[in-house]
Amino acid sequence: MASGGMQLLGFSLAFFGFVGLIISTTMTEWKMSSYAGDNIITAQAIYEGLWSSCVYQSTGQIQCKVYDSLLQLPPAARGFMVTAILLCAFAVLVAAVGMKCTKCMEDNMEAKNKVAVAGGAAFVIAGVCAFVATIWYGDNIRRQFFNPFTPTNARYEFGKALYIGWGACALTVIGGGLLCCSCGKNSSGPPAARYPPSRANQHAQPAHV
């Protein structure tokens, strides 16, 4: 049962990471306008995400606009995040079939364990893809922020979506790793040895009339 509990823990962590990746991808706060240096204009805040950019006014009004040109899109981050979400969706279905707490494939535990390992590996790959997207996007923000040729009012900082994405990546990788590690051994134990009945027991049986 120890491996079954580890499977359930790994699946739960990976599933929460999957939800976090969806939330992070759909959010617009991947980067936000910075107020460092001489940029003290706080009447509005600009947020940019993978799909659109939004302007928050100090009066509470919000104006969002979807990117009109493909050149404005962050294609690498967008592609990696969508790939990670699709892999997680596939991993959820596969891992659910291979877990010991489900009734599928109970007649073949060896194949069931292999299916669970495949689901865990898919979770790990999805987490790595999301890590590549978030780290690349964050490094791009950092380089532009410290670039002396970038105007002060055009500098951005890390948004909430990046922090959520990093946490979701960690949960997905850890959960997938637990799924893979929990299936190394079969918790049912080796089959009991069977011995033929002794001759004394055979002679002790009553004779049929």
Residues 50-72: pLDDT tens digits?
A: 888 888 877 778 888 887 766 55
**pLDDT score recorded for residue 42:** 59
Q: Which CATH fold would you assign to the domain 2-29+70-186?
A: Butyryl-CoA Dehydrogenase, subunit A; domain 3 (1.20.140)
**Structure confidence at residue 48 as a pLDDT band (50, 70, 90):** confident
Taking the model in full, what pTM does it have?
0.78
Residues 84-93: pLDDT tens digits?
A: 999 999 999 9
What are the residue ranges spanned by the domains of the chain? 2-29+70-186
Give the pairing type, strands 31-33 and 44-48: antiparallel
**Structure confidence at residue 193 as a pLDDT band (50, 70, 90):** very low
Residues 150-168: pLDDT tens digits?
A: 777 778 889 899 999 999 9
